[in-house]
Amino acid sequence: MTRPVIANWKMNFSLAQAIDFCNDITRFNNESLIIAAPFPYLAILTNQFPHLNFAAQNVSDRTTNYGPFTGEVSAEMLASCGVKYCIIGHSERRKYNNENNATSKLKAQYCIEHNITPIICVGETKEERALGTYIGFINNQLLECLPDSSAFILAYEPIWSIGTGNIPTSKQLDEVFSLFENIIAKPIALVYGGSVNGGNVSDVAKVTSVDGLLLGKASLNATELEQIIQSWINK
Ligand code: PGA
């Protein structure tokens, strides 16, 4: 998928609401859409909606497919449920679940081994942006997180933008996406995430190096999601 729009539902929706949402979105062109649903819904959704693409929001970093690891879900298990993508290293997991670059790299490798495309998230804090150290910080994340193969989607998700309503300027996006293009072999797609909504998607669409979007809040409203996808695929 070259122009993905990734809907990160995070910890939202009951199962019934998730099914209603998927029924609702079949009315519009959703070929570029990837829905990152909570773990317990994935097998049900992939089964009921085989024409949609689903992602997990996390995967285990354990080295085995099965074993005594209470609460863990392996890449093998996700693949057996028809999951094609997996978000890795989101800043919320780094913050609340002690994840880091090393665990992100392991998870990305396991996903690739199981034909699941990792969606690897990097991005700086407000402090790093203010100090001017953000390019070095992102560069280091790339060096430490990225798997050996280029079969991944890379997401720039500045922490100061997620859930705040602030999106980077075109110049700020250009700077980071040029870094991506310069230092890594072309991955499947380069995406931007952080406070994208129906009102500002056209601003992000002007930045030609951004191939796709990672949406949080705006992905919980089917009407807004449709509007964003229309703007994005027509950009
Ligand atoms: P947001 O979240 O769109 O609600 O800012 C984006 C994300 O966390 O991926």
pLDDT, tens digit, for every residue of 170-197? 999 999 999 999 888 777 899 999 999 9
231 class by beta-carbon count within 10 Å (0-12 exposed, 13-18 middle, 19+ buried): middle
Catalytic, 90? Answer yes
Q: What pLDDT shows up at residue 29?
A: 80
Question: Can you give the pLDDT at residue 186?
Answer: 76
Structure tokens at 209: 């190096």
**Ligand 1 center from residue 66 Cα (angstroms):** 32
Amino acid at 75: A
Residue 156 to residues 41, 48, 105, 114, 208, Cα–Cα distance (Å): 27, 31, 16, 24, 14
- pLDDT value at residue 161: 97
Question: Residue 172: its pLDDT value, please?
Answer: 97
Active site residue 114: no
Q: The whole model's pTM is what?
A: 0.97
**Residues of the chain below pLDDT 70:** none
pLDDT, tens digit, 9 for 90 and up, residues 204-235: 999 999 999 999 999 999 999 999 999 998 87
Q: Is 19 exposed, middle or buried (0-12, 13-18, 19+ CB in 10 A)?
A: middle
Ligand 1: residues with CB < 6 A are: 8, 157, 162-163, 193-196, 214-218
* Largest interatomic CA distance in the chain: 49
Q: What is the pLDDT of residue 184?
A: 84
Cα dihedral sign for 177, 182, 184, 185? positive
